[in-house]
Amino acid sequence: MKPFIKQNYIWIIFLILVSTGSFFAEHINGRMDMRDLEVYYRAADRLVDGGELYRSAEEDPWEHYVYKYAPPAALFFIPFLPFGIPLSKIIYWILLTLVLGLTLYILRLVFSKKDGQNARIVTGLVLGILIIGTHFFRELHLGQVNLLLLGLYISALALHLNQKPMASGGLLAFSIFIKPFALIFLPLFLIMGKWKEMIYFIGFGMLFFLLPMLFYTDSNTYFSLYSSWYAELSIELGEKQDFFAQGNHTLFSFLARFTPIGLIPLAGNAKIVYQLIILLAVAVVFTWFYFSRPVPERGKRLFIVLTAMIPLIAYTSYNAFIFSLTLIVFLLFRFRELNTVFKIIFILSCIFIGGNIYDLVGPLLFDQLWAISIYSWGTIGLIVTSFSHWNKFRGWKTRIE
């Protein structure tokens, strides 16, 4: 019994200790903010009252608590309303910890060997927690939804692999109303010919679109919410078109700043054309790998690579690089298979993604690392490492086919 606990559960104990330690540290330091959770909570409260969800900061009595997500996203947070905000913060903290644990557990099932190697697998899970630890803490501290979305994506992958297209498509459909990142997976399902998942995705998408109408007596009032949501999105997207902005870590910004592309004057529609060209180039590369390198688990690999690419496509907060967890764990399981050069690249990539903690490196160095998009360098390193060993990993067997 002892060896089993030591080999299989130590990563769970480690995760609980990290989460519990962070929780008490937040309380001791008086930093239990979780402001984003308060945004979702208040939006859910307005939704059940059939009220307006979108308010400017000037109109909102809670100032920065401005809701910018689709109306159906507020549905998820309705169960928190009976507990009040203070207790909801504790519940949400526990929920995010469970989501991270579930995500790691599914990754273990999907990408670990059938023939044992428990010590190496558990080590990979513990290291995965450490590497994305700073992003995990930020998710907890702010009460954000990136980790929740990651859990939905990986759960959808597991359900897809278990031949449950309805549940898989339903989870992805619900997730797009929180943040539309899951749209990145639709081209993959398309080239894989997964029509059932696509149909269920569209069907559940329509259902979730209409479901909040239950709280509104006037359908016109409800549909006007989508106009307000579109206005919020337009404002936010309009503010995120500067490729040279310090907080822009997308692939579009990365190429503009570190390649001769930055010498080309881009303005107005030219920016949109430039981004579409980059997206098309990425799609071509992924499609080529799918059809020309038909390894048994090609669909699963591309799914987790696409997951890691989300912060490279969407201009969002730096803690969204928690999505790279999927690729980090995948490569940790296969670390011995990497050649020396890519072992070094992988280690550096993990340091870039998780090692530049503000309190550890100091504000001056952190600002410099932030300015050169160190997270983007790390994620690109992970993707290049994965693609460079695409065929070398061919002999690995997986638990879920």
At 72-83, the pLDDT tens digits run: 998 999 999 999
pLDDT grade for 57, boundaries at 50, 70 and 90: very low
Q: What percent of the chain has pLDDT over 90?
A: 39
- What's the pLDDT at 114? 53
pLDDT at 398 over 50: no
The model scores a pTM over 0.75: yes
* Distance in angstroms (rounded) separating the CA atoms of residues 125 and 388: 23
| Radius of gyration of the CA atoms of the chain, in A | 21
DSSP 82-134: GGHHHHHHHHHHHHHHHHHHHHHHHHHHHHS-SS--HHHHHHHHHHHHHHTHH
**pLDDT higher at 359 or 342:** 342
* Distance in angstroms (rounded) separating the CA atoms of residues 308 and 312: 8
- What's the pLDDT at 90? 93
- What's the pLDDT at 17? 92
Mean pLDDT of 174-179: 91
Is the distance from CB of 229 to CB of 71 less than 8 angstroms?
A: yes
Digit-coded pLDDT (tens) for 283-323: 998 898 888 877 778 888 899 999 999 999 988 777 889 99
Mean pLDDT of 145-156: 95
Is the distance from CB of 110 to CB of 28 less than 8 angstroms?
A: no
- What's the pLDDT at 26? 84
**Nearest-5° Cα angle at 152, 115 to 40:** 150
**pLDDT higher at 294 or 130:** 130
pLDDT at 116 over 60: no
pLDDT grade for 228, boundaries at 50, 70 and 90: confident
* Distance in angstroms (rounded) separating the CA atoms of residues 177 and 171: 11
Mean pLDDT of 366-370: 74
For all residues of the chain together, what is the average pLDDT?
Answer: 84
pLDDT at 160 over 80: yes
pLDDT at 149 over 60: yes
Q: What is the 3-state secondary structure (H, E, C) of 146-207?
A: HHHHHHHHHHHHHHHHCCCHHHHHHHHHHHHHHCHHHHHHHHHHHHCCCHHHHHHHHHHHHH
- What's the pLDDT at 79? 94
Sign, CA dihedral 55-56-58-63, equals positive
Largest CA-CA distance found in the chain, in angstroms, rounded = 65
* Distance in angstroms (rounded) separating the CA atoms of residues 386 and 383: 5
- What's the pLDDT at 401? 39
Q: Where are the alpha helices (DSSP H) in 211-355?
A: 219-238, 251-258, 269-292, 298-313, 325-333, 340-354
pLDDT grade for 91, boundaries at 50, 70 and 90: very high
What is the CB neighbour count within 10 angstroms for residue 236?
Answer: 11
pLDDT grade for 379, boundaries at 50, 70 and 90: very high
Digit-coded pLDDT (tens) for 39-52: 899 889 989 988 88
- What's the pLDDT at 121? 84
